[in-house]
Structure 1
């Protein structure tokens, strides 16, 4: 049975050798790209085209044609290759765009046999080159993913997005198009793989020694904070994921930003590597299951990265992506089954023969049975994927470092302070209605490129409307204090400072652990004078850092300037703020992150709306979170409405106080 994939859906590859069959309504070129563990193309050899030497295990066709068959021997592919992309390109003398021709159809099949996965590339418009699908490694086994990401500027733009320099990409694209033109290089036979590839056992592949990196996400490394169902702006080619570009720039409660280009971005999050050192070796693979048909045994840290923290971070994002796409496939299958049922019921009612003799009832029952069968099949696939993700979560969650871990994780009871700052910070948990018990950590890349807005208003969500106002405001402030405590605990001593503006003193009870431990940079600022003094001090810091950076002399900062990263918690805004203070606050939100000053607002959006247009840019620039379960966040692939739940210390636990006590002791020990 062939699985009809939708954009973003993946499917296991059960054979060591596969054929990729392309059918199109016009002549086009079929090429292949070879990416490394970071998802990047490593030079001209990373594009398999008719004018280049054939890479191991891959053969590409020659001239443009309406039908192509690519054969890939996955066991012969070099270990440095972690993903193989099928590229479809319109020739220079062909149609002007894919939107003007019938949708291409791609089938992945056993050599000479039936297909096991198919993908129709519908919805194309101005694209002239696209990545149709990719074969990629995941936990040592191979999978196929339907991609369907196109580029209006052609093959050169696609290669540039893959990591090649623009001149190199343009030259390589021109070389490939020349080689595939009539009279160019002779067409390579796709059936002529090495003889051993044809005889290889087609049993499912067991986990290998090199783990596949999870698909990178656009940065900042948080789910897209826009209206569920809206598409984020595509990230640029350099965006990694949980660091580099930015779709996460939607409004905290509003629509998605505009912008042209593809609406789904498959550039993945990965850490910027600033040294030439080799990455740490990958973790040892799990033993192959006794049953060859069983899924791979999950392993914590089974992803690419230079450290275990980075591998776990990338693995969490891989789990988040897998859950998003497997649920999208299930929902798509249910929608298809429902629409087919409606169509068949309409046909049964419109057929005069079914109005006589009672055959109409039989036709309707048969249609409903077919619908139920389709839904049951889709649910079985979903349950299989959910079981695998749940097993992976049960292995990964206990292995997370403190920055990513829940507050009830035993890692918080360990002693000592870290020697370097963390890669990311856990904000809470994400889940979908199809599997509410499966919680995926929501991680935010550090240093923060956006501030946070914790909404303590009752109109923020359905759950908030049912809560007492005082309880909701206390929950929001408790959430802010928990984030501040986590940031302090996971940074080295004196590498992170926290300031608080609590103009009316309404947050004193929640702030008590920070105040008692003595870890704040200064006592919470109260009244209009305290607000003005704190904002002036942090604004001065941003100005001085920016001037020093522009002058190329960051070491010439005044000696009284705190070099640590700064977090400003603002409670009950706009109480105590005049127009000048609001302007300074907006300045800190816009310019602060580049100078190491980050903003955490705890406020009611409705109360703050009194400032109107003056405040809207501030609201829109921050990521909105809720102190109660809410579903205002959407992922950057299929825009599910995810349920967000904050991660707070367990009731009655002293884990937060113990963490702050360790911070205080470390600071005292670090001071001369």
Structure 2
């Protein structure tokens, strides 16, 4: 049975040898890119296009044409390749159309070698775009799937390839256009004509889906991202990107430049560059992920913890969690898009009934209305069944992944913390909480942020709504925010080697004495919390000088010239009760630390209510925007960069009555004592 996909929807592939058939009605350029698990292309050798149409396991057309057949052999692509993206572009400089919006919607179909159609996708909703990622084949848990993408680019092939991380994007785009203009290669036979039923289904989808239907899922209206990576932190401002939260980089894989994603070597024999973004990586290919146990016929493969690629189990688990986040985002997007489609079709059919005077009386109109509602219910039920299937697979994967997570990625109630020992090196990432969506309330995805921190953290104590609809008073919220800050600080201390992470606390009025007591008693702070305006000014001055010294040493290439007693560890400043105790000079220094500190290892964590600092007006807007906002209670303020879902963030809370925090801090203090001795 053919699967008619909508934007964001995926479908399993049971065959490795396939054809991608394109029907556009006007000459278009067909190309394909290979990318690693983080969605990055390693060089021009990873792009099949009319000037270089053949790659291992992939062949594209050699010229622009109204119809294309692309040959794919998934068993022949390199192991490091995890995605095959099919691209369509309008030729430039040949006098043809300049935007897909002026054309009939192109149709892309995945077929077997015998011509049997596996999945189809009609690219509706395009406007000024002249290049589009039509669909992608991607590897997931040892199996391949196809996903309908439909992400358009008004800037053409150059912008598309740049968005996929190709440094030579503009040169390659020019080369492709030149090759097409010179008419390289043979003609491509057109695919056989479609059945009338197939045509009708596509025409119905095209006529029902409006220009905005699903367009926000992948920036289909000519944008290159679905959400601002540094939006406003609260209120009516845009939600913060969950890709920032998950990976601490501007945009995520597949869209969530992946500048901080773990590096992956180029495919064998391609000569592409090797870019390792995580320290201490070996200059060899990563070991393959563990093989999943064979699945019974008709059943999905059993999930395995760490089945993603990576240099270590830690990196495999990180990539697997990221894949779960991405799959949940897109599965939910497909469900919502299908529901919107059903709503739109029912509304149209009901409007047609009401517009015909003959159907307003008698039983004919009632029957038409019942038929429209029945079709709507059937479509929604089908979409929900697909979503439930995907959620069941993700839930099964979460059940095996969660117990296997190391302490840095684990919840506080994970037994891994009871076997905690001070690590010898910093991990790749840190868990700050969980993420979930309304359609999958029971499924939690760990929210991981890459280390070292690239942005400060803001624990917002100013929200008054609780997840159950009740209200918490300001004192209770401040207490919860301080508890969250202490838990996050303890995690940061626990995942760094001894004496490689120094924590300072500013508590001007001493209001956080009770919350900070575990940190003070264990002796893990650099000094007792700074109190009063004088204490605030002194600590901020010392940290500002610290940043200045490191910057001068780095810029002058004289890092060895720092004073012998200089603390080279990562620094964290925890600020409570801002702006109490801060004068204008202290506020200026705080902004300086937030802007300049992360680049030299000085990080900021603020526990604050933005309304308390409203007197500063727009002066502090850059400060709030530059920090990653977290909440002490569940709140739906995060957005992913693909489809812009409002993700509910839940903080990483300690189990009631648990002593795990005290045990971990005692281990950290003991590790520091042994290190100094």
When normalised by structure 2's length, the TM-score is 0.86
Mean Cα displacement is larger for which, 358-367 or 564-573?
A: 358-367
What corresponds to 2:554 in structure 1?
549
What corresponds to 1:216 in structure 2?
none
What corresponds to 2:255 in structure 1?
265
* 3-state SS of 2:29 partner: strand
1:179–1:185 CA contact under 8 A, matched in 2 = no
TM-fit CA distance, 1:511: 0.5
Count, aligned residues: 623
Query: Within 2, Cα distance between the matches of 1:137 and 1:410?
Result: 31
* 3-state SS of 1:511 partner: helix
What corresponds to 2:649 in structure 1?
644
1:48-106: per-residue Cα shift (whole Å, max 9, x none)?
A: 23443633443322321112122323234344433222121222213233344333221
What corresponds to 2:73 in structure 1?
73
TM-fit CA distance, 1:143: 1.0
2:112–2:118 CA contact under 8 A, matched in 1 = yes
1:521 aligns with 2:526: yes
Q: 2:593 aligns with which of 588, 595, 607?
A: 588
* 3-state SS of 1:624 partner: strand
Query: Within 2, Cα distance between the matches of 1:455 and 1:481?
Result: 14
TM-fit CA distance, 1:517: 0.1
From the superposition, tell whether residues 536 and 104 of structure 1 become closer, same or farther in structure 2 (CA, over 3 Å): same
What corresponds to 2:628 in structure 1?
623
From the superposition, tell whether residues 392 and 264 of structure 1 become closer, same or farther in structure 2 (CA, over 3 Å): closer
Q: 1:281 aligns with which of 280, 287, 290?
A: 287
TM-fit CA distance, 1:281: 1.1
2:499–2:569 CA contact under 8 A, matched in 1 = yes
What corresponds to 1:342 in structure 2?
347
1:631–1:642 CA contact under 8 A, matched in 2 = yes
What corresponds to 2:233 in structure 1?
252
1:412 aligns with 2:417: yes
1:35-56: per-residue Cα shift (whole Å, max 9, x none)?
A: 3455443444322234436334
Q: 1:391 aligns with which of 375, 387, 396?
A: 396
From the superposition, tell whether residues 190 and 408 of structure 1 become closer, same or farther in structure 2 (CA, over 3 Å): farther
Query: Within 2, Cα distance between the matches of 1:473 and 1:563?
Result: 32
Query: Within 2, Cα distance between the matches of 1:231 and 1:608?
Result: 35
* 3-state SS of 2:567 partner: coil
Query: Within 2, Cα distance between the matches of 1:232 and 1:546?
Result: 42
1:345-377: per-residue Cα shift (whole Å, max 9, x none)?
A: 222233233233322222211111111111110
TM-fit CA distance, 1:162: 4.1
Query: Mind listing any 5+ residue stretches in structure 2 that lack a counterpart?
Result: 192-215, 241-250, 263-276
1:417–1:490 CA contact under 8 A, matched in 2 = yes
Mean Cα displacement is larger for which, 150-159 or 503-512?
A: 150-159
TM-fit CA distance, 1:255: 3.1
Query: Within 2, Cα distance between the matches of 1:312 and 1:633?
Result: 22
TM-fit CA distance, 1:609: 1.2
TM-fit CA distance, 1:152: 4.2
* 3-state SS of 1:437 partner: coil
Mean Cα displacement is larger for which, 462-471 or 484-493?
A: 462-471
What corresponds to 2:141 in structure 1?
139
From the superposition, tell whether residues 447 and 248 of structure 1 become closer, same or farther in structure 2 (CA, over 3 Å): farther
TM-fit CA distance, 1:309: 1.2
What corresponds to 2:272 in structure 1?
none
From the superposition, tell whether residues 491 and 439 of structure 1 become closer, same or farther in structure 2 (CA, over 3 Å): same
Query: Within 1, Cα distance between the matches of 2:164 and 2:255?
Result: 12
Q: 1:155 aligns with which of 150, 157, 160?
A: 157
What corresponds to 1:122 in structure 2?
124
What corresponds to 2:542 in structure 1?
537
Query: Within 1, Cα distance between the matches of 2:170 and 2:217?
Result: 36
1:313-357: per-residue Cα shift (whole Å, max 9, x none)?
A: 111111111111111111111121122222222222332332333
Query: Within 2, Cα distance between the matches of 1:61 and 1:28?
Result: 10
1:85 aligns with 2:85: yes
What corresponds to 1:482 in structure 2?
487
1:499 aligns with 2:504: yes
Query: Within 2, Cα distance between the matches of 1:364 and 1:653?
Result: 58
2:433–2:446 CA contact under 8 A, matched in 1 = yes
TM-fit CA distance, 1:163: 4.5
From the superposition, tell whether residues 550 and 236 of structure 1 become closer, same or farther in structure 2 (CA, over 3 Å): farther
RMSD: 2.9
From the superposition, tell whether residues 147 and 342 of structure 1 become closer, same or farther in structure 2 (CA, over 3 Å): closer
Query: Within 1, Cα distance between the matches of 2:362 and 2:158?
Result: 64
What corresponds to 1:96 in structure 2?
98
Query: Within 2, Cα distance between the matches of 1:229 and 1:171?
Result: 29
Query: Within 1, Cα distance between the matches of 2:344 and 2:533?
Result: 60
The aligned runs of 1:545-624 (5 Å cut-off) are 545-624=550-629
* 3-state SS of 2:433 partner: strand
TM-fit CA distance, 1:302: 1.4
1:232–1:257 CA contact under 8 A, matched in 2 = no
Query: Within 2, Cα distance between the matches of 1:234 and 1:175?
Result: 23
When normalised by structure 1's length, the TM-score is 0.86
* 3-state SS of 2:18 partner: strand
